[in-house]
Every structure is written in C-alpha cells, then in structure tokens.
Amino acid sequence: MPELPEVEVTRRSIAARLRGARVLAVRCGKPLRWPLGRAPEALVGARLGDTLRRGKYLWLPLEPSPGTPGPAGGGLLLHLGMSGSLALHDHAPPAGPHAHFDLVTSHGTLRLTDPRRFGAVLWSPGLDQPPASTLLARLGAEPFDARLDARTLHAALRRRRVAIKSLLLGGQVVVGAGNIYACEALFRAGIDPRTRSDRISLPRCERLLAALRETLSRALELGGSTLRDFSDAHGMAGAFQSQAQVYGREGLPCPRCGATLRRIVQAQRSTYFCPACQRR
C-alpha cells in the first residue's frame, strides 16, 4: 500500500508540472471506492493550483479559468488505496483495464491506475467542506508538523490502551507510519511493538518521534519503498526497502546486537522486530 513517503514522492513528481495546467477532458473508467461527485464535463476549463498532501491524500485545487464558463472551483481529493499509482504522460497510451481515471490537461494526462480499485478520486468544494473535510477529520498530526512534540505525542498515547505498533498504523495520532515505516521507527527507538501505548514514558516518546521523523525523511530521500509495483509519476521506483534494518528480515541477525529478528502478526499485518534491542 502506498504510504506517506510514496504519496509525498508522487506529489513532488507532479506538482510543478501540473501547476497552472488547464483541464481539457476527464475520463472515468470503472467505479472506484467513491463516485466522483461531479459531472466530469463540469471540470473542463478549470486550472490546477498547487498540489497538496494531507496524510495519504492528495488535493488538486481547481481554479476557474478567467473568461471561461464552467466549474465553481473546489478541487479533487485523490487516494491511491491499496495498489494505486499516478502517472503523468505527455501522450497517454490507450487506457488499460486498470486505468480508472484520466485528467487530461494542457500539461499532460494524469492517470490513476489501480488494480484493486480501493483508490478514490472525488470532487469537493474545498478542503474544509464535505466530503473532503469529513475524510480528513479522521487523520492525526503530520509527522513533520512543528506543533507535534514529544509532550503532545505522550498525552495522546496516554489516552489509549493499545499496542504502539497498531496505534501508529491507525493514523489517528500521527499519520505516515505505514507498516514498513512503523517497524523501522520502533526499531530505531528501541521500543517493542507490543508495548501498550499508555505505558510509554515521555523520554521514550521523544525517541519515538525522532525515530519516526528520521525514518520517513530517509524514505523520502530514497523515493519511498517499492515492495511490489510502486513508482512515482515518472516511473521511478523507490529504494528504501533495500535499507530496512528489520522489515522483511525474520530469522536474520539484528544489525545492532546480533540477536535473531522475529516476525509476529498484529492487526493482520506482519511486524518485524528485535526481541533483545526493543523492550517493553
């Protein structure tokens, strides 16, 4: 599943190119998770503003083109789901069976391909209005937000009584810690993934927040992770998975202490950790 680093890498690969582009046509294929919510032809003529990201969502603002009748503005909220990816084509090839949405613009065609169809493209009158505001209201803090500090994180963890790995995956406290990144951040912080969230001390919260930021920063530098078929909008794969210290390394020695790395299942997801370095 594309996580925050992959979505941010995607945003960076399309933002400059699409800024100021005029929508020429919209093609919708098989239904995705939610309907578009607006007639495709109503989007034609709008100009795209700066592409933004919130959690794993992308926001493409639509600005009315001067002197052109048509859309009242708003924007498109995109989610890549479990298997989605965006590609930006100068000349788009014919749409295949998994190409479910094309935004044809004066600067190229943005195509959403999603084999499992859990992704979404929906129109909203604004980020602060439904349906966008309803979906985004469930999200926790951005990991690089300066307002998120160890004390804020500690207070949020004390209000819950679940395993820290599961809490990170949920995204209600802080977004961005997908499975591979949660495993790696907890290893960096020396915290057992089974540790109950309300039992993590303030000093350990400081280490966890720093570890999460370091892990996500490194993932962004390396273009995210490509475990199956992720690539950015220009077809470049990520490389973070090749530097993972615990993820996918069950049975191998811990790079820190040499103990045998373990794999358990939490919330139906594989968790990799060192039983010696990571303590409850």
In angstroms, the CA 147 to CA 95 distance is 43
Mean pLDDT to the nearest integer, 114-142 = 94
Cα dihedral 162, 227, 122, 125 sign: positive
In angstroms, the CA 191 to CA 109 distance is 45
In angstroms, the CA 172 to CA 230 distance is 25
pLDDT digits (tens, 9 = 90+) for 30-63: 889 899 999 999 999 999 999 999 999 999 999 9
Q: Provide the pLDDT for residue 5.
A: 87
Q: Provide the pLDDT for residue 263.
A: 97
Mean pLDDT to the nearest integer, 189-209 = 98
Q: Is 194 a catalytic residue?
A: no
Mean pLDDT to the nearest integer, 87-103 = 93
Among candidate residues 11, 56, 188, 204, the one labeled active-site is 56
Cα dihedral 12, 13, 17, 20 sign: negative
Ordered DSSP codes for 247-268:
TT-TTSBPTTT-PBPEEEEETT
Work out the pLDDT band at 234, boundaries 50, 70, 90: very low
Q: Provide the pLDDT for residue 3.
A: 84
CA distances from 56 to 9, 31, 44 (A): 11, 20, 26
Q: Which domains, from first to last, does the chain contain?
A: 4-136 (3.20.190.10), 150-273 (1.10.8.50)
Q: Provide the pLDDT for residue 1.
A: 65
In angstroms, the CA 157 to CA 176 distance is 16
Q: Provide the pLDDT for residue 65.
A: 66
Among candidate residues 3, 6, 8, 184, the one labeled active-site is 3
CB 167 within 8 A of CB 202: no
Structure tokens given for 218: 């490194």
Q: Is 2 a catalytic residue?
A: yes
Among candidate residues 2, 71, 143, 193, the one labeled active-site is 2
CA distances from 152 to 117, 136, 181, 194, 206 (A): 36, 20, 21, 21, 10
pTM given for the model: 0.88
